[in-house]
Chains A and B, each alone.
Chain A
């Protein structure tokens, strides 16, 4: 069924391209994903209309393409079938694969003026980390998140804890969790399906170790600090008993939190607006607790420019990206979703200032950018990531010890990355 919808949309896209008059201005096709809750396609459509009103000589077809995997698939197959998109929002961690497949161009080749070069520097550095490879900028942040801790203030009060003092260290996380785990309710849930590697990056970075090298050719899964981080995660369920055993489902976790099944959850800040809509209780948002240091990976999607387009199209694409990441749009997008405003200027806009004055949790993800690291990404990233995901799940379900699981994942990663040194 989905295939039919996809091909229908694809055909519609083809017809739109075919039907454009010959003298028409530059035409752009852009695919984008939606990975969190809410009617977000209308927000994007509104932005596109605003851009077209300002730039009457550019026509933009913005096509919603599903989740991150679907979007990459749609964009890449469109290119290979000779009906290319000129730009797209895709997973920030797809960058090495897109370079390796020779599909994208760095922004450095497209920006000409001094003003544009300044613009490249206007974003939060933590959000640029994933897009910077071999000294060039390949991705511009659009829908970007960090992982934050949501907690149920009412449950904190019931357990006699201070609702304004969420746990700030691993030790406090455990002691708080123990005070909250009772009557079939859990203290903490950290999701381990969908994006286990992403959640694991939190534990690893808090324990003082990143999982991969900055050039995407090495992984450090079997480093003692990383193994210790996985032992701690597993121990939350087996030893401390503040989290259920087995893997925790990404897709239903938000439900479990708003139904009061768990007092704390770690989740993408992209879910903030949805939790705000659904929670019938007083909830708070905090930075993740620290151990040796605080930290979280960033996440989400970047804008990429595809190679196979004319100079006019590249310029128009750049104009569109500049429009969509401008402070007003970034603020609007942040309020609609909970994603981070991608530039400091976004937080200087009146709308966002008013919003965070009324709803301070919206600032937590941004404040955490200070200590955030790039999301896990290497060459051959999907395979390396899958090996890590399997190792995490094998350890959490007790099939292997953390040390054994991560050792296996490391040797697998080394084998895959040998070609890229």
Chain B
């Protein structure tokens, strides 16, 4: 009897491993192995024709922390994430509620909002490069009409990062709107009717019924926006190249520079590992805190 139970248990364990094997193999190949290899690589000094690479322990990490650029770039990325994530989500939600309401030309509104998403980032950045051009650009044409003097949006440290952030929001909000639209379509109208009968106003209904029901979507969009805030740097290559004086440089762009412009892959690897750690911590926090407060049906 006991024997039977043990066999049964073991068989279940084998089934479990078999079921997860394909995913596990793929994950190992494309995620675990590269991460470990990157970590290993980050422990060695940079080898050149004159000096072979040697084991350096955590020296590369020490160099990063001692480099003022590291702190500039990290701060920039925190601001970038701190603004683009909530603002894109709020914009997406407002746009979705509006595009879901009974207004004329509803499909036109939807597709207009969605257009930026379809454009490749490089093309979008080139468009915005001309929007931002002092004097000639659309933005200065408009402000100039009201008598403002031309502003060098991308060419001054005070506004360079903000300009990059605006492009990102413009690009992302339409994409996230699609998810919200889909979620709104699935909410049964009788909930709204019931709330009406109970005497709840529009605002109460939105706050007490609609938003909680949209929470799973919000989580999904939030995770996406989070990943994008670290991974989205295409427009930097076109708009500012991280300048002026690092004012708009983000982490991944800096990693790219170290690896491919400076031929310094060990430091790039070290920085990559730091990013992985930070994202890992965020993921853990998300699962622990936010998941509890979400109602899945």
Contact = CB atoms under 8 A, between A and B. Distances in A.
B156 interface: yes
Interface in B87-124: 120-122
Of the listed residues B156, B241, B245, the one surrounded by the most CB atoms of chain A closer than 10 A to its CB is B245
Contacts of B244: 192-193, 246-247, 393-394, 396-397
Contacts of B243: 193, 247, 389-390, 393
A322 to B, nearest CB: 28
Contact of B246 (A100, A252, A382, A390): A390
B49 interface: yes
Interface in B141-194: 150, 152, 154-157
Contacts of A69: 260-261
Contacts of A193: 154-155, 240-241, 243-244
A80 B74 CA distance: 31
B70 to A, nearest CB: 14
Given A255-B136, A399-B245, A2 B155 contact: no
Interface of B: 48-51, 120-122, 129-130, 133-136, 150, 152, 154-157, 234, 238, 240-241, 243-246, 257, 260-264
A249 interface: yes
B245 A249 contact: no
Interface string A250-265: 0110011001010000
Nearest to A385: B261
Contacts of A393: 243-245
Given A382-B257, A399-B157, 11 more contacts: A2-B122, A69-B260, A102-B49, A252-B130, A256-B135, A259-B136, A261-B135, A393-B244, A394-B244, A399-B245, A419-B51
A245 interface: yes
25 contacts: A1-B121, A1-B122, A2-B234, A76-B263, A101-B49, A194-B241, A244-B135, A244-B152, A246-B134, A246-B152, A246-B244, A248-B152, A249-B155, A251-B129, A252-B136, A255-B133, A255-B136, A382-B262, A386-B261, A390-B243, A390-B246, A393-B244, A394-B244, A397-B244, A419-B51
Interface string A195-235: 00000000000000000000000000000000000000000
A100 B130 contact: no
Q: What is the interface of chain A mostly: helix, strand, loop, or mixed?
A: helix
A73 interface: yes
B257 A244 contact: no
Given A100-B49, A256-B136, A394-B244, A246 B130 contact: no
Interface string A352-396: 000000000000000000000000000010110010011101101
A308 interface: no
Contacts of A184: 135, 150
Interface of A: 1-2, 69, 72-73, 76, 97, 99-102, 184, 192-194, 244-249, 251-252, 255-256, 259, 261, 380, 382-383, 386, 389-391, 393-394, 396-397, 399, 419
A73 B260 contact: yes
Contact of A249 (B51, B121, B133, B257): B133
A55 to B, nearest CB: 33
Contacts of A397: 155-157, 244-245
Nearest to B234: A2
B155 A246 contact: yes
A354 B273 CA distance: 59
Contacts of A246: 134, 152, 155-156, 244
A102 B52 CA distance: 12
B137 to A, nearest CB: 8
Contact of A99 (B49, B120, B121, B152): B49
B260 A101 contact: no
Nearest to A252: B133
Contact of A1 (B120, B129, B150, B241): B120
